[in-house]
Amino acid sequence: MRKLFSILTASSLLVTSTFSVVACAKKYDFNSNVWVITDGGTINDLSFNQSAWEGASKFVVEQKTGELPENWKDVNSRASYFEPSGHTPSDYKTGYVTAKIAGAKTLVLPGFVHGNTIGWAADLVDNIIYIDGSGQGIHAQMKPDRPLVKNIVGITYQAETSGFLAGIGTAIYLNAHQEEYAGNLNIGVYGGMDNPVATSNYLWGFLTASDIFNEIILGDNSQYPNLGKLSAMVKQAVLDLRTTQNLAGENNKAFELKRVNKVQKVLEKNESWFSQSFQAGEGKAISDELLSRKASIIFPVAGPQTQDTIDRIQYNKSNAKVVGVDTEQGKIYGEDYIITSALKEIVESTYDALNNIYSPVCGYDNNSGAWSNEQVDPTQCWINTDQSSADHPTWTGIETTKSVPKNLVNLIHSSDISSKTVFDEIADVLQKLYNGTAGTDKIASELFNQTLTKTYDDQNQVKAWILQKINEAL
Give CA–CA dist 115/170, Å, rounded.
Answer: 33
Instruction: Determine the pLDDT at residue 393.
Output: 84
The domains of the chain are located at: 2-156+348-388, 159-344+394-473
- C-alpha distance from residue 223 to each of 31, 163, 448, 466 (Å): 58, 25, 28, 13
Strands (DSSP E) found in 150-281: 152-156, 186-191, 261-262
Of 256, 246, 423, 409, nearest to 340 by C-alpha is 409
Of the pLDDT bands very low, low, confident and very high (cuts 50, 70, 90), residue 5 is: very low
Give CA–CA dist 456/393, Å, rounded.
Answer: 28
The pLDDT tens digits of the residues spanning 153-209 come to 999 999 999 999 999 999 999 999 999 999 899 999 999 999 998 899 999 999 999
Instruction: Determine the pLDDT at residue 254.
Output: 76
Of 397, 422, 345, 431, nearest to 166 by C-alpha is 397
Give CA–CA dist 37/409, Å, rounded.
Answer: 33
Can you count the helices (H) and strands (E) in the chain?
16, 16
Mean pLDDT of 36-59: 93
Is 63 buried (19+), middle (13-18) or exposed (0-12) by CB count in 10 A?
Answer: middle
Instruction: Determine the pLDDT at residue 248.
Output: 74
SS3 content of the chain, % helix, strand, coil (to 5): 45, 15, 40
The pLDDT tens digits of the residues spanning 285-327 come to 999 999 999 999 999 999 889 999 999 999 999 999 999 999 9
Instruction: Determine the pLDDT at residue 415.
Output: 85
Report, at the CATH architecture level, how domain 2-156+348-388 is classified: 3-Layer(aba) Sandwich (3.40)
Instruction: Determine the pLDDT at residue 12.
Output: 43
Other Cβ atoms less than 10 A from the Cβ of 460: the count is 13
Least-confidence region, from 74-83, 247-256, 392-401: 247-256
Mean pLDDT of 33-47: 92
Q: Which residues contact residue 319 at a Cβ distance below 8 angstroms, ignoring those fewer than 6 apart?
A: 180, 181, 296
Other Cβ atoms less than 10 A from the Cβ of 89: the count is 15
Is 91 buried (19+), middle (13-18) or exposed (0-12) by CB count in 10 A?
Answer: middle
Output the pTM of the full model. 0.85
Of the pLDDT bands very low, low, confident and very high (cuts 50, 70, 90), residue 14 is: very low
CATH homologous superfamily for the domain 159-344+394-473: Response regulator (3.40.50.2300)
- C-alpha distance from residue 417 to each of 261, 390, 396, 412, 428 (Å): 31, 9, 12, 13, 11
What DSSP character marks residue 274? B
Of the pLDDT bands very low, low, confident and very high (cuts 50, 70, 90), residue 2 is: very low
Mean pLDDT of 338-359: 97
On the question of pLDDT at 56 being above 80, the answer is yes
The pLDDT tens digits of the residues spanning 399-420 come to 999 999 999 999 999 988 889 9
On the question of pLDDT at 273 being above 80, the answer is yes
Mean pLDDT of 67-80: 93
On the question of pLDDT at 13 being above 70, the answer is no
Of the pLDDT bands very low, low, confident and very high (cuts 50, 70, 90), residue 250 is: low
| Angular region, 111: left φ>0, alpha ψ -120 to 50, beta rest | left
Is 20 buried (19+), middle (13-18) or exposed (0-12) by CB count in 10 A?
Answer: middle
Mean pLDDT, the chain, rounded, equals 92
Instruction: Determine the pLDDT at residue 251.
Output: 66
Helix axes 200-216, 159-176, angle to 10 degrees: 40
